[in-house]
Amino acid sequence: MKDFTVLDLLDLDLKEHNHLRLRCIAGRSGLSRVLRSAMISRPGLPLSGYFVDFNNGSIQLFGKGEQSYLRMLEEKGELSSVEKILSSQIPCCVFTDSSSPSQSIIDMAESHAMAILTTDLNSSDFSRRAYSILDEVFAKTETIHGVLVEVFGIGVLITGDAGVGKSETALELVGRGHRLICDDTVRLKNISDAYLVGCGENPMFAHHMEIRGLGIINIANMYGVGAIREKKQVQLSVHLEKWDDSKNYDRIGDSLQAQFLGVKVPRVEIPVRPGRNVPILIETAARNERLKKQGFYSARDFDRGVMSWLESEATREMYYNTEVGEDGR
């Protein structure tokens, strides 16, 4: 991963509910500083002079409480702890609630080439949005060969050997009203070791597809912007492979799993041969996965029904095959 700087944080192209609404009010020469941590710190203890375990690699967030304490320190003329914070090579300071520090602190930040940012968000909203963004920025990543599509709201990662029909299958799914995230190469991100997010390796080419015999096509131009999206959580892995008569394929829906970057996702293996409608099978797998997330397991319910039937049949046979004795018992 390339270095992520304070300027990169300011330049992020974010939508409304994720927008950090940041602007720089001082220390522009420090915008090139690199963020070394996804953590956001509230410098309450350092302001009081306690610097044990101080994390100078994280953004320092000044909410209403910290701002009030700063004003008290200024009134007393005790700014040594502030000077120590600003000189400790932290990435930047963020003041929430449209607030900004006094001119003396701004001058201090300028002298240490340390950027001061402000936002009109409150501390809680800013922290929630920033953590969501920084978790992706500092996430472990892996690039794999495959196609990522959204089918009935489920992020489906389609993998398989070259020439097995991944792109053609994805194209048919787009034609059936589903959405393409990326084709050919998928960049996976491990978010907090909890789930995977997939996107295109290169955003400029993510929504183009290479179809043998047709060449390169632009999905957004052909099907409209409603047929694409930038990223999606990977919730199902579908592996396509050429039909092998010697292989015993799953017929009852046993739970297979794939693992990427240490995160496990449900896996389905679909053998491909002429006559099989693979897009419909993937749609069915996506529907089934949605049912599982709602607590309905078709294979488990079927197994439970079969066992109940067998037990009842066995009970009846035991009753009717029991020989009746001379005493009627």
Residue 76 CA: distances (Å) to CA of 16, 71, 72, 307:
41, 9, 6, 79
Please report which confidence band the pLDDT of residue 298 belongs to, taking 50, 70 and 90 as the band edges: low
Nearest alpha-carbon partner for 170 in 209, 204, 224: 209
Distance separating alpha carbons of residues 197 and 319, to the nearest angstrom: 57
Give the per-residue pLDDT at 3. Answer: 86
Please report which confidence band the pLDDT of residue 244 belongs to, taking 50, 70 and 90 as the band edges: confident
| pTM: predicted TM-score of the whole model, two decimal places | 0.76
210 is in an annotated binding site: yes
Radius of gyration of the chain (CA): 29
CB 281 within 8 A of CB 240: no
Question: Between 251 and 88, where is the model more confident?
Answer: 88
- In this predicted structure, the answer to whether residue 248 has a pLDDT above a threshold of 80 is no
Please report which confidence band the pLDDT of residue 309 belongs to, taking 50, 70 and 90 as the band edges: low
Residues with a catalytic annotation lie at 145, 166, 184, 251
Which positions ≥6 away from 294 have C-beta within 8 Å?
none
Helix axes 166-175, 278-293, angle to 10 degrees: 70
Give the per-residue pLDDT at 18. Answer: 77
Nearest alpha-carbon partner for 211 in 169, 168, 177: 168
147 is in an annotated binding site: no
Give the per-residue pLDDT at 314. Answer: 63
Strand order in the sheet with 147-151: 179-182, 147-151, 154-160, 236-242, 263-272, 256-260
Which positions ≥6 away from 313 have C-beta within 8 Å?
none
- In this predicted structure, the answer to whether residue 325 has a pLDDT above a threshold of 60 is no
Q: In which residue are the tokens 């910290």 written?
A: 66
Give the per-residue pLDDT at 97. Answer: 95
Distance separating alpha carbons of residues 167 and 216, to the nearest angstrom: 11
Please report which confidence band the pLDDT of residue 260 belongs to, taking 50, 70 and 90 as the band edges: very high
CB 197 within 8 A of CB 234: yes
pLDDT tens for each residue of 143-199? 999 999 999 999 999 999 988 999 999 999 999 999 999 999 999 999 989 999 999
- In this predicted structure, the answer to whether residue 229 has a pLDDT above a threshold of 70 is yes
Give the per-residue pLDDT at 320. Answer: 64
3-state secondary structure of 266: strand
120 is in an annotated binding site: no
In percent, how much of the chain has pLDDT > 70?
88
Average pLDDT estimate for 18-28: 91
Please report which confidence band the pLDDT of residue 326 belongs to, taking 50, 70 and 90 as the band edges: low
Burial 111-130 (b: 16+ CB within 10 A, else e): ebebbbbbbebebeebbebb
Please report which confidence band the pLDDT of residue 2 belongs to, taking 50, 70 and 90 as the band edges: confident
Average pLDDT estimate for 216-225: 92
Residue 98 CA: distances (Å) to CA of 64, 103, 126, 159:
10, 16, 12, 48
Average pLDDT estimate for 298-322: 65
Average pLDDT estimate for 17-25: 88
- In this predicted structure, the answer to whether residue 232 has a pLDDT above a threshold of 90 is yes
pLDDT tens for each residue of 96-133? 999 999 999 999 999 999 999 999 999 999 999 999 89
Give the per-residue pLDDT at 6. Answer: 94
Q: What mean pLDDT, rounded, does the chain reach?
A: 88
Distance separating alpha carbons of residues 132 and 198, to the nearest angstrom: 15
Give the per-residue pLDDT at 311. Answer: 66
Distance separating alpha carbons of residues 134 and 161, to the nearest angstrom: 34
Helix axes 64-76, 103-111, angle to 10 degrees: 90
Nearest alpha-carbon partner for 144 in 112, 102, 186: 186
161 is in an annotated binding site: yes
The mean-pLDDT minimum among 4-18, 39-53, 221-235 falls in: 4-18
Which positions ≥6 away from 299 have C-beta within 8 Å?
252, 253, 254
167 is in an annotated binding site: yes
Which positions ≥6 away from 60 have C-beta within 8 Å?
41, 42, 43, 85, 90, 92, 93, 94
